[in-house]
Structure 1
Amino acid sequence: MNRREVLKNTSLFLGYSLSAGALSELFIACQKEAQLNWKPVFLSNNQANLIAEITETILPKTETPGAKELGVPQFIDKMLKDMLSEEDQKAFVEDLEKFDKSCEEAYKKPFIECTQAEREAFLLKADKEGGKLPPSAWGITLVAKPAPISFFRRLKSLTLLGYYTSEKVGKEILSYDPIPGEFIACMPLDKVGNAWNE
């Protein structure tokens, strides 16, 4: 069974390679409940729609697939449900609401109703204000008492994780060798090519 079938059989959640291309660029602003072509397992429809638009602004569709096309919002939804404690889930949802309110204060409208230029400007500002992640190695923070990680920095990290670990990106964009060949200890950089996903 391939990854796509697994995802379909688990309520369209994991989003590594699931196509979510049917989501429109913008949902009708007057709708009270967002319309999605997938059912969130943790977030509400409106929250999931907001996450979808944020992730697509971070990683829009170009020559390569965008975040929504690869199902990154579904991945984030599932990660929030399965990997966070109840306390962290509550904090994430509160931070998501604060994020949208701060966008309303800046542009007099929620993030979903903003133009692409406004979205990009707002996310660039959030990225700049978010500071840097503390140094880490293999997922272990190397600082005794790191500063709290901003909401946007956490969301951006989840977005990149979902995108770069997706099957499509791993097999079609990054170099992929399911059965690695010989070990070459020293190779000229110009012969390396794409980054390796494994």
Structure 2
Amino acid sequence: MNRRDIIKSSALFLGYAVSTATLSEAFMACSQEAKLDWKPTFLTNNQAASIAEIAETILPKTKTPGAKELGVPQFIDKMLKDLLSEEEQKDFVGGLEKLEEDCEKAYGKSFVECTPEQRKEFLTKLDAEAEKLPPSVWGIRLAPPSPTPFFRRVKELTLLGYFTSQKIGKEVLGYDPIPGKYIACMPLTLGMNAWNE
């Protein structure tokens, strides 16, 4: 073996070593789990990060706390694990995966990586496209029930978690603990809070 063959072989070996390291880093970057400050019990870290951003886009922080600040993503994760049937859980995860695919097609990145404006635009479009609820009379549906679309389910769980939180119940909504006195004709003033009983 001469010097030229040794140089070619070592260059080829070095190329393989660098390529392998680069490719493995690229694959690792694609499959890394999102970092959360809580541990999901049902969702994966990436799914939980997406749900957190969806909830925060639906109810962002303004003068009142946002969904993430109140632990709404944790609430949704717990509800998915403890309340939904296996079929509903599969539908939910499938809906979340479809949302991510559609977001990837629309913006070329995952929902979590999108800007707040892109997230809002994307969810507004989903909300407009969501199937409307069948009409009902006195709470009785006039049409046979259909499966709840993914976005409507996320929105319902987000609102439920937000408005049943203790902080919102006591600090944002008017709070009069039960048993409160009954006032048949109560004077209303401009800017008065809605009541939470």
Larger radius of gyration: 2
- Larger RCO, structures 1/2 (Cα 8 Å, 6+ apart): 1
TM-score bracket, normalised by the shorter chain, equals: 0.7 to 0.9
Distance in 1 separating the partners of 2:167 and 2:185: 29
Does the 8 A contact of 1:42 with 1:78 survive in 2? yes
Residue of structure 1 in register with 2:185 after alignment = 186
Call closer, same or farther: CA 1:51–1:143 in 2, change over 3 Å: same
**TM (normalized to structure 2)?**
0.78
Q: Residue in 2 aligned with 1:23?
A: none
Maintained 8 Å contact 2:42/2:80: yes
TM-score, normalised by the number of residues in structure 1: 0.78
The answer as to 2:108 corresponding to 1:108 is: yes
1:130–1:149 Cα contact (<8 Å) kept = no
Q: Match of 1:170, as an amino acid?
A: G
Q: Distance in 1 between matches of 2:99 and 2:76?
A: 16
RMSD: 2.2
Q: Are residues 77 and 66 of structure 1, via their aligned partners in 2, closer, same or farther at CA, if it must alter by over 3 Å?
A: same
Distance 1:192 1:70 in 2: 24
The 1:112/1:172 distance shift into structure 2, 3 A limit, reads same
Q: How does 1:154-165 map to 2 (within 5 A)?
A: 154-165=153-164
Taking the aligned partners of 2:65 and 2:56, their CA distance within structure 1 comes to 10
**Aligned in 2, Cα 1:111/1:192: closer, same or farther, shift over 3 Å?**
closer
Percent identity for Structure 1 against Structure 2: 67
**Residue correspondence of structure 1 range 44-193 to structure 2 within 5 A:** 44-134=44-134, 142-190=141-189, 193=192
Instruction: Compare the two structures and name the one with the higher helix fraction.
Output: 2
Unaligned runs of 5+ in 1: 1-28
Structure 2 residue runs of 5 or longer lacking an equivalent are 1-28
Q: Deviations over 1:56-105 (max 9, x none)?
A: 11111111110000000000000000001111111110110001111111
